[in-house]
Amino acid sequence: MSVRKLKPVTPGQRFRVVNGFDAITTDKPEKSLLAPNKRSGGRNSQGRMTTRNIGGGHKQKYRIIDFKKDKQGIPATVKTIEYDPNRTAFIALVFYADGEKRYVIAQNGLKVGQTIVSGREATPEIGNALYLSDIPLGTTISCIELRPGQGAVMARSAGSFAQLMARDGKYATVKLPSGETRLILLTCMATIGVVSNSDHQLLVSGKAGRSRWLGRRPRTNPVRMNPVDHPMGGGEGRASGGHPRSRNGIPAKGYKTRSKTKASNKYIIERRKK
């Protein structure tokens, strides 16, 4: 994976850094795995704006991704590595031995023609999905389940990964991308390897218009608002008007919003770094 810096032939391209897409093998998605992706523009069923800064954007089709990896023991061959407009990671189209086609999140190093498999008999190789009870300690993993059979919910974005630290009883200790260390049931599944497109963090938009292509409308700085619009609005010049806080008055920058009585607190060994 690589990035390209464009020649400054226009002001918008002067600072633009784009993905090299050298891992991508096709630009045509599998039609049977596409679904409509309707945009709300931040409006509710009454047509009223309930979420700000959303609107516009390029039309997209949703790619149906197999997060559950529930076809266990059946080998699948990687046919293509594709771009997905709905996520930062690349996806892989796999053909199972029984003829079914599915999309999965692609890991770094996954190649066309490679065979992947999930389940108890899978080996700990890149792209294979195993139970946490079967993965060697110290292995780099991604696409991790939090509840058995739920499907992958953690470490799914570009370049993210977790590490299997230890096993004790019916739990595995996993260090997550955020730095948090927590317990996860051994009956949960995870995929071996780092999520693809790790150069995503190096990309530079180059111009404001690209945010509009992605469906993001401009966001007004709260300090520049009027007092009626935000607790930090008003004043002369750049007077901040007290401590930084949200539009609803909840303090920002260090204020903990996590409940002290949350049920999952007992599974967290070490909190993420501030």
Give the domain ranges of the chain: 3-201, 220-274
Domain made up of 220-274: CATH architecture: Irregular (4.10)
Q: Give the pLDDT confidence of 68-93 residue by residue, as tens digits.
A: 999 999 999 999 999 999 999 999 99
Q: Give the pLDDT confidence of 202-231 residue by residue, as tens digits.
A: 999 999 999 999 999 999 998 889 999 999
Check: CB of residue 64 under 8 Å from CB of residue 35: yes
**41: closest CA among 207, 216, 229, 218?**
216
Check: CB of residue 182 under 8 Å from CB of residue 135: no
Task: Please check the confidence at residue 241 and state whether its pLDDT lies above 80.
Answer: no
Q: Give the pLDDT confidence of 155-180 residue by residue, as tens digits.
A: 999 999 999 999 999 999 999 999 99
Query: Domain 3-201 in CATH: superfamily?
Result: Nucleic acid-binding proteins (2.40.50.140)
Check: CB of residue 52 under 8 Å from CB of residue 247: no
